[in-house]
Amino acid sequence: MLWGGRFKDKLDSAALRFSSSLSYDKLLLPEDIQGSRAHAEMLCKAGIIDGSECSQIINGLNLIYSEYSLGAWVPDELCYEDIHSAIEARLFELIGKSAGKLHTGRSRNDQIITAVRLWIKKACAEIISNITSFQHTLLDISSNHTKTIISGYTHLQRAQPVSFAFHLLAYVEMLSRDKERFEFAMKQADSCPLGSGALAGSTLPLDRQFTAEKLGFASITQNALDAVSNRDFLLDFLSSCAAGIMHLSRLSEEIVLWSTSEWKLVKLSDKFSTGSSLMPQKKNPDMAELIRGKSGRIYGNLTSLLTTMKGLPLSYNRDLQEDKEPVFDSFMHYNDSLIIMNMMIQTMEVNGAKYAEELKGDFSLATDLADWLVLKGIPFRESHHIVGEVVQSAESRQLTFDRLNLDDLKAINPIFDASALDCFDISSSLNRKKTLGSPNPELVAEQIILWKKRLNEG
C-alpha cells in the first residue's frame, strides 16, 4: 500500500474490493504514464533525481505501457486500489527502489486529477471530431433536398411547409452549439494541477511550468487547495454530453416517426434496423430508440456528480473517486450514439416525393394567405381572422385550399383577387419566403455552402 509505515495491518480484502476503482480507472493508464514521465523529467531538471534514475524510470514506464497494451500485464483488481497504485507497484517490480523516487513532490491527489484532465482533453477532441463528421453528413444530404418539401410542425400538428434540407440544418445548428460546449469543457480542463501535492504544494523546488508545457497544458492551476478538489470541468463535460444526447434523442424521435408506415418519409437501412421475434413483417428503428434511451443514463451521470460534489468541504475527499465512472460512461454512450446516428443517417433513403401531392391545398398555407392580406393593407390580426373564416368555410364543405375559387374567397371578403389563389400553390411556397433563416431554397443553399466552408476551415 502507498501509505506504508503508519499502519500495521493491511486493508481488509472486503474493504479493498469495496474501495477499488481499478475496474474503470484503468482507462487512465496512458494519461497516468504520460504524467509520470513528465514528472520524472521535471525532477531530473530540478536536480532531485539524476539522469540515470530518470532514464530508468521513464524506460520502466514505457515498458509498462507496452506490456499493458499487448495484454502481457493485467493488474489484479483484487490487489490494487486504482490504476495509479498498480503502475507504481509494477514499476518497483521492473526497476527496483528507483521507482520510489518517482512520487517525490507528488500526491495521488494531483497525480490523478492531472491524468483525468489529460483524458478529458482527449475525449473532447474525439467528440468534436465526430460531431463535425456528423454535420458533414447532414450537409451532404441537405444539398440534395433544398427543394424537397415536407411539413413543418408545431405541437406535432402541421404548421407551415419547409424543406427537408432546412429541417436537417436545424440539427447542424444544434450540433454546432454542442461543439462549443465541448470546446469550453476542454478549455476548462486545460490547466495543469501537477505540483499541487495533496492540497498545499511542496517545499521542493518543483518546476510546475516545465511539467505543464511537457504535458501540453495551456497554463497551471493557481491554488493547490482548489486544484486537487476541483471537478467543475467534469461537470462541464457531463453537461455537454447531456445537451448533446438530448439533441440526438430529438432527432431519434423524428426518425422513429419518419420511418413509420403512417409517415413514410425515410426508409432505414437493414444494417441499422431490427426485426421482431414474433411478427415477420416488422422492421424496427431500434438504433434510434436506443440512442433516445441513452439520454436517461447520461442525465443521471450529471446528477450523480453534482450530488457527490454538493456537500464536500475543501479539499480532497475520497467521495471524489466517484467522479470517473459517470464521466467514462457518458463519454462512451454519447460518443457511440454520435457514431451510430451518423451511419444510420448516411444509409437511410429519403422519400422526396412524400409530401409533393399530400400538401397540395393543405391548410398549412394559411399563413401565406394572411401575409397576402397584410400586403393589401389589412392589419395582421384582422387578416388572421379572415383567413380563419376561409379555413372554416373550406373545412365545412370538406374542401382543400386548392379547390377553392375566387368567388369562394370573395364571399368571405371582397378584397381578395385572383393573385390570392397563388398562395395555395405548394410548389412555390418555399420560394415566397424572403427572410434570412427561412426555408427559401436559395437561402438554404447559401447556408449549406457557408456551413461547409466553416467546417472545413475549423
Name the residues annotated as catalytic.
155, 276
Residue pair 301/381 in contact (Cβ under 8 Å)? The answer is no
User: What secondary structure does DSSP assign to 358-407, as a single string?
Assistant: TTTT-GGGHHHHHHHHHHTT--HHHHHHHHHHHHHHHHHTT--GGG--HH
Which 8-state DSSP code applies to residue 146? Answer: T
Q: For residue 45, what is its C-alpha cell?
A: 531538471
Instruction: Show the DSSP H helices in 99-204 as ranges.
Output: 108-143, 164-189
Taking the C-alpha atoms of residue 161 and residue 241, their distance in angstroms, rounded to an integer, is: 32
SS3 for 438? coil
Listed residue (134, 230, 253, 243) closest to 181, CA to CA: 243
151 cis-preceded (ω within 30 degrees of 0):
no
How far apart CA 277 and CA 412 sit, in angstroms, is 57
Q: Centre a 10 Å sphere on the Cβ of residue 322 and count the other Cβ atoms it contains.
A: 15
Which residues are bridge partners to 266 per DSSP?
A: 350
Q: Which residues are registered as beta bridge partners of 153?
A: 158
Cell numbers given for 21: 476503482
330 neighbors 301 (Cβ within 8 angstroms): yes
CB 240 within 8 A of CB 178: yes
337's enclosing H/E stretch is helix 324-347
CB atoms within 10 A of CB 59: 12
Q: DSSP string spanning 287-315?
A: HHHHHHHHHHHHHHHHHHHHHHHTTPPSS
Q: Nine-digit cell at 244? A: 448533446
33 contacts: CB under 8 Å, gap ≥ 6: 61, 62, 64, 65, 87
First to last CA, the chain: 47
